[in-house]
Amino acid sequence: MKKGTIQTLSNIFPSFFAKKFYNRLLNPQIKKIRKNELETLKKAEKKVLIIQSNKIQLYKWGNGENKILLVHGWEGQAGNFSYLIEKFLVENFTIYSFDGPGHGNSSGGKNVMFEYLDTVDKLITKLDIKNIVSHSFGSVVTIFALSQIPNHKIDSYVLLTTPYTFSNYVSNISKKTGISNRAINIVLKKIEKERNEKIDEFDVSKYVQNINVEKAIIIHDVNDRIIPISEAEEVAKKWNSAELVAITNTRHFKMLRTTEVANIIIEFIGNKNTTATTVLD
């Protein structure tokens, strides 16, 4: 069904399409894993952890001094970081990643979006993580997770894009499918009822002011069509510990497979100077 048709019908029958979209949020669609991703995953030490009744697939590479946790985005999986993982291994890092609830090889329950949040804070504390790299929706859940463990200090945090608010992120997903605003508002109210919290409270730029992170950078492509860079700018404005690094020619996903991005991350976590608001040609 074409986006225009979906938008028209979801305006006429918002409850029906809201239910379908909500079910998609509970059951993320995972893209086929690339060959290079499979090869990197095969190299990992694997362990299954039980977190909130879910079986979470954990991966570990290397045994370097600096430990990094990689947090993938919505409808992604740990293998999405395969290019970066190979670069980090050369630099002698210890790398952890995992398949979020309902993603990859991990099971999920009733509301995987929020189970993801609760999974991240458990992994950070259990593994004693001091360095984090997150992508897209992974940045949302990581920031919210860090707000729940303010006594745990993170030395370096790299956000590969970030939305401004949770509701904006849901709206961005809906635009890809053509779901109308009427239907999306129904979905957001349903989430509010289940969480017993107002959606407006899930403001990334507010939460970053209350997390224990020594230094952070937000890497965002100026031409990102999934999450506009203006959202990252709003977060950076309200986060004293963070600097925005604006890049080009990577869009939303290619940055995970870009040498310049890998180099920025390695230099930043390695305590070398990184210039804010740099545009890569």
SS3 track for 53-92: CEEEEEEEECCCCCEEEEECCCCCCHHHHHHHHHHHHHCC
Higher pLDDT, 64 or 120: 120
By CB atoms closer than 10 A (0-12, 13-18, 19+), residue 246 is middle
**Tens of pLDDT, residues 12-51:** 888 988 888 887 777 788 778 999 999 999 999 999 999 9
Higher pLDDT, 6 or 94: 94
Alpha helices, H only, 27-160: 35-43, 82-90, 112-126, 137-147
**Tens of pLDDT, residues 177-227:** 788 888 888 988 887 887 777 776 678 888 998 899 999 999 999 999 889
Residue 14 corresponds to which amino acid? P
Question: What angle separates helix 14-26 from helix 3-12, to the nearest 10 degrees?
Answer: 120
Please report the pLDDT score of residue 97 as a whole number.
Answer: 98
The pLDDT of residue 243 is above 50: yes
Distance CA 74, CA 79 (A): 13
- Please give the model's pTM, rounded to 2 decimal places: 0.89
Instruction: Map out the domains of the chain with their CATH numbers.
Output: 31-164+203-207+225-269 (3.40.50.1820)
**Tens of pLDDT, residues 82-99:** 999 999 999 989 999 999
